[in-house]
A and B are shown apart, each in its own frame.
Chain A
Amino acid sequence: MTDKTVSLPETPKHSGFIKNNLRNYGMLLSLLAIMLFFEIVTDGTLLQPVNLTNLVLQNSYIVIMALGMLLVIVTGHIDLSVGSVAGFVGAVAAVLMVSYHVDYPTAFIVCLLIGAAIGAAQGYWVAYFKIPSFIVTLAGMLVFKGLALAVLQGRSVGPFPPTFQKLSSGFIPELFPSAGTLYPTSLLIGVVLAFALVLASAKSRAREQSHGIEVEPYAFFIAKSIALAGAVLYFTYLIASHRGLPNVLVIMTLLIALYGFVTRRTVIGRQIYAVGGNAKAAKLSGVKTERLTFFTFVNMGVLAALAGLVFAARLNTATPKAGLGFELDVIAACFIGGASAYGGVGRVGGAVVGAMIMGVMNNGMSILGIGIDYQQVIKGLVLLGAVCIDVYNQRR
């Protein structure tokens, strides 16, 4: 590096800043609008603690798979097999634990390894043999749907041992038993989390500012921090007033944080986006494009397996129909969240918000008593609409 002075823009342009960020927060605002809408039309049922807890449990496996799917879509591929893989892994878990009495941790690890192996098998064809992922995973979808049937021999297998059920239906242990209706441990975690989030963003802002990097206006930063902390606190208050934090929510939050970090801050994350943005240019810049594509599929397999376990634990039984159509919700979540079908573009936060939009709509429409038929129609239109808005925004 030279000793020349670094020229950085000094004057922050507020209007431009807000305009730019409106695009980033657009989907989040849509989620809030949709939640507000259903909160009103369901007379407050949506945000009742018991319903909110349910909402989390219902959508956890979709969110988990959306994290892996986002990476696959960012590299410019697609994975249609995730629903079948999740169902198959749930079936294997049931047979291991119920029929063969394998203990829970062993079965859990075996299932994740099976997921990794499935991802590796599919990723191998896609990355090294350049077979279109659409075809490879379409084949995988059929294969694992069939294998799930074969493993279960067409029956439902259950119930699971109680410790395994806790994966989905359990809540974190209460350290300070109280007489009231609130769960103090969960509340405390929420307060600490809110505080940590605000502190972390304040620190990174200060660091950037000290290096002369353009930062968001101070008022905007304060407003954002208050909104963020408020949302986290309100959410944990609601959750804490039912039965506390569900185990699966903790897993989900940790995964979201991990994938958010990997995609935004690491070399691997940057290279994955480069592969999707322009594979040839990335390769000529020394990025191991094939290997990265391979690992995104392995990663997807592991997450699909985890989702399969969560789903099986939630139903407390493995059925041949488990996982049916999950792939559609997962892929829709990524695209609603702003991922590009051409690769190279997409955010973890977007995919999570996309999954939540789908989840809130499912939940809200069910509360309203809208039939499954029109629910599908509305969800389809929302997917199309979201992508249209995104394409329109890009063209502008």
Chain B
Amino acid sequence: MTAMLEMRNVSKSFAGVQALRDVNFTVEAGQIHALVGENGAGKSTLMKVLSGVYPAGSYEGSILFDGEERRFRYINDSEALGIIIIHQELALIPLMSIAENIFLSRAPSRFGVVDRNAVYRRTAELLAQVGLRESPDTLVTDLGVGKQQLVEIAKALSKKVRLLILDEPTASLNEADSAALLDRLLVFREQGIASILISHKLNEVARVADRITVLRDGRTVDSLDCRIEQVDEDRIIRSMVNRDLAHRFPERNVAIGNPVMTVENWSVYHPLHTARQVIKNVDFRVRRGEVVGIAGLMGAGRTEFAMSLFGRAWGYNISGRISLDGREANLASVPAAIHAGLAYVTEDRKQLGLILADDVRKNVTLASLRQVSDRGVIDDVVELKAASDYRSRMRIRCSDVYQEAGQLSGGNQQKVVLSKWLMTDPQVLLLDEPTRGIDVGAKYEIYCIINELAEAGKGVVVISSEMPELLGICDRICVMNDGAFVGEFAKDDATQEKIMRAIMRNVRMSGNGAHDSEVRAGDGAQ
């Protein structure tokens, strides 16, 4: 078989962060090629390079399609060749019908007037091909996510697809819908349509893929041909996580005290889809001087859990008990949570953490203006001293505290956000992806700050998708999946394989609602 697509030595970096390094990736005609790897391994970036979201010239390396070198400048360029990408967040317009969505920009028309009959007829044909029994006039908003996914695929078929890229297509589907979708890929394979399947559900990957490429830290680390050797999940997991720890973690004197925050039977519903329970009656505990990690895939509910604890900043119909230092606390609002000694450092510092147009000083003092004011009047000098103090303590690199936060690098921005929360003198810190998108040096400094906080007797909760980071800094790691804790490991007991296995086992089982409890091993410090 000849290669339909060949990506050669593709490298891509964002402002100093190397996202892809010399990636080689080949897809043959009529092949289902799975692309797996941890969050942030570079899967989505690679697909964006392929589809022209990142135009030719913004990356190094070359793309060959049908044996010719291609330089895609827009998504339209790759679509013209039949390379269609279906993103994780579906790009359908909810209040339009299926037919209108499929033929949004290319409706069959005569003199600019849409031929409604032709649209209806061809939509019906396409829906039959993907096995969706709905009227073309049905509004997309009335369909479930699984059926919406099929509409996306029908839309791809209408564009004469030759290479279909699916980014986590089954992430929000139940077992039956997932199976139907995967069967559809097998049918397409018979018709000569190749697919690239990005998925965390390794059992699905093992079932349908002809070839599996594993990305790690932006490199291709493995490419397994499933037609030659039998590939099982353990084999894939080993490739995904087996890496040398490139960066070190600072040492800390561990002195764990009494529980500072205890959460019992915590339940949270989605604010928009109010019937959906996002956090499912979980218990959680963090002690003074302890760093607790929460591992899990994107969408597992980790951010939602942390934000709901922080003064109910996210969620609907929240129930459960929070005790701080053994006393039950009612944290009904963000100010109440701050007052009670909680701090939440967001994963999205640009959207939720900083006021980018304001200077460093104003960002640092925003959550503790009372400390620098007297009867509502801010004392400029006291404020400036406080801000300058954090600037030197946290080694924030800026020209002065009057520099706009938006002009700082990611690592320094993160230190500004951390300063803001340290100034509130919290007892429990919820750190959501505290090192996302920052360079190795800044990461190390942030680990040092986390250690200092723990040594000062605070309780620190770290949510992270980088497993080595959790293994390096946490005393205990809880694994969350689908809104519930499905595993817990003490530092000495935890390995990447164990955590990944706990996640994957439950990814496979979620949808049935069953959760694995046998991995709830060795909570040593208890």
Which A residues are within 8 Å of any B CB, using their own CB?
A: 1-2, 4-9, 207-208, 211, 213-214, 265-268, 270-271, 273-274, 277-278, 280-288, 344-345
7 contacts between A and B (CB under 8 A): A1-B389, A6-B388, A8-B400, A208-B380, A266-B373, A267-B370, A274-B366
Name the contact of B373 in the complex, choosing from A2, A267, A282 (C-beta under 8 A): A267
Residue of B nearest to A394 (CB): B357
Contacts of B353 in A (CB 8 A): 281, 284
Residue of A nearest to B365 (CB): A270
- Assess whether B266 is interfacial by the CB under 8 Å rule: no
**CB distance B357 to A345 under 8 Å?**
yes
Residue of A nearest to B373 (CB): A267
Which of B47-55, B293-301, B317-325, B344-352 touches A? B344-352
Contacts of B393 in A (CB 8 A): 2, 4
**CB distance B388 to A280 under 8 Å?**
no
Considering the chains assembled together, what is the distance between the CA atoms of A345 and B355 in angstroms?
A: 11
Interface string of B450-487 (1 = CB under 8 A from A): 00000000000000000000000000000000000000
**CB distance B385 to A278 under 8 Å?**
no
Nearest 8 CB-CB pairings of A with B? A277-B355, A285-B367, A286-B335, A278-B355, A267-B369, A286-B338, A6-B388, A285-B366
**CB distance A277 to B380 under 8 Å?**
no
Which B residues are within 8 Å of any A CB, using their own CB?
A: 310, 313, 334-335, 338, 344, 346, 351-358, 362, 366-367, 369-370, 373, 376-378, 380-381, 384-386, 388-389, 391-393, 399-400, 420
Given contacts A267-B378, A283-B313, A286-B338, whether A7 and B362 have CB atoms under 8 Å apart is: no
**CB distance A213 to B373 under 8 Å?**
no
**CB distance B386 to A1 under 8 Å?**
yes
Given contacts A281-B352, A286-B338, A286-B367, whether A9 and B380 have CB atoms under 8 Å apart is: no
Contacts of A278 in B (CB 8 A): 351-352, 354-356
Besides A4-B389, A281-B351, A284-B353, 20 new A-B residue pairs in contact (Cβ under 8 A), listed by A number: A4-B392, A8-B388, A213-B384, A214-B400, A267-B370, A267-B376, A267-B377, A270-B369, A270-B378, A274-B366, A278-B351, A278-B352, A278-B356, A281-B352, A282-B366, A284-B334, A284-B346, A285-B338, A285-B420, A286-B367
Contacts of A284 in B (CB 8 A): 310, 313, 334, 344, 346, 352-353
Considering the chains assembled together, what is the distance between the CA atoms of A298 and B378 in angstroms?
A: 23
Interface centre among A8, A207, A288 (most CB of B within 10 A): A8
Residue of B nearest to A269 (CB): B378
Considering the chains assembled together, what is the distance between the CA atoms of A286 and B393 in angstroms?
A: 24
**CB distance B335 to A6 under 8 Å?**
no
Contacts of B313 in A (CB 8 A): 283-284
Given contacts A6-B388, A7-B388, A271-B369, whether A282 and B377 have CB atoms under 8 Å apart is: no
Considering the chains assembled together, what is the distance between the CA atoms of A284 and B432 in angstroms?
A: 13
**CB distance A287 to B381 under 8 Å?**
no
**CB distance B334 to A286 under 8 Å?**
yes
Contacts of B356 in A (CB 8 A): 277-278
Contacts of A5 in B (CB 8 A): 392
Considering the chains assembled together, what is the distance between the CA atoms of A150 and B367 in angstroms?
A: 48
Considering the chains assembled together, what is the distance between the CA atoms of A207 and B382 in angstroms?
A: 12
Contacts of B362 in A (CB 8 A): 270, 273-274
Considering the chains assembled together, what is the distance between the CA atoms of A273 and B391 in angstroms?
A: 22
What's the least CB distance linking A204 to chain B, in Å? 8
Considering the chains assembled together, what is the distance between the CA atoms of A307 and B378 in angstroms?
A: 30
Given contacts A4-B392, A286-B335, whether A274 and B358 have CB atoms under 8 Å apart is: yes
Residue of B nearest to A211 (CB): B381
**CB distance A280 to B351 under 8 Å?**
yes
Contacts of A1 in B (CB 8 A): 385-386, 389
Name the contact of B358 in the complex, choosing from A7, A214, A268, A273 (C-beta under 8 A): A273
Considering the chains assembled together, what is the distance between the CA atoms of A283 and B335 in angstroms?
A: 9
**CB distance B381 to A265 under 8 Å?**
no
